Amino acid sequence: MTDLKQEVYVSVDVETDGPIPGPHSMLSLGAVAMLPNNDINLREIDSFTTNLITLPGAAPDPDTQIWWESRDPKVYAASRDNPKDPVIAMTEFTDWLDKLPGLPVCVAMPAGFDFMFVYWYLMRFAHRSPFSFSSLDIKTYAMAVQKTGYRKSAKRYWPSRWFPKNMPHTHVALDDAREQGHLFLNILKDNT
């Protein structure tokens, strides 16, 4: 029997202090749950955000720290505001995902980075992943919609109608999850 429960697209974004989980830490997590809908006011159904305490024994990657210090020290400082123990943060995240009105599908850009951290933290601290073990990569989806090669599916090749208005990429996890979620739904709309 097929499960007919609707899919809820959950755009996730993480901010980190290095390129991989374990040796480095996830600093903040933002997630926006969305349903495909032509009315922009009804697309977002819920959101989640948290800052996390760094992992014991982990250390910031020097290049990543230079990037944070030169690019956005205020945003980095905000990611350190009221951080939670990863067990608490990821348990709250799984509880939030479980309450969504459908099956959560992780959407990220690049999924190979964001989902790697999310999945690792979910399995390590919540001992399960409501996403299963997969994620939808927005750039790969754009490649399929545009019928181009992967290198020709970078943002600079995308039509302006895909980009949400008044949603800048700020490197605040929740802001970026929101922007990427609306971007994904715009691509999805073009493909239907």
Q: Are 12 and 107 in contact (CB under 8 A)?
A: yes
Output 71 or 54, whichever has higher pLDDT: 54
The answer to pTM > 0.85 is yes
Q: Are 45 and 24 in contact (CB under 8 A)?
A: no
The amino acid sitting at 128 is R
Helix (H) or strand (E) holding 144: helix 138-146
1 is written with which tokens? Answer: 């029997």
User: Closest Cα to residue 110, out of 135, 134, 131, 137?
Assistant: 137
User: Closest Cα to residue 13, out of 184, 152, 186?
Assistant: 184
Tens digit of each residue's pLDDT (9 = 90 or more) over 83-123: 999 999 999 999 999 999 999 999 999 999 999 999 999 99
Domains identified in the chain and CATH numbers: 7-190 (3.30.420.10)
How high does pLDDT run on average in the chain?
Answer: 92
Question: What was the pLDDT predicted at 37?
Answer: 66
Q: Over 50: is that where the pLDDT of 53 sits?
A: yes
Strands 7-16 and 26-34: antiparallel
Q: How many CB atoms lie within 10 A of CB 18?
A: 20
**CA 178 to CA 176: how far, in whole Å?**
5
128 is written with which tokens? Answer: 């399960």
Strands 103-108 and 44-51: unpaired
Q: Are 14 and 173 in contact (CB under 8 A)?
A: yes
Question: What was the pLDDT predicted at 132?
Answer: 94
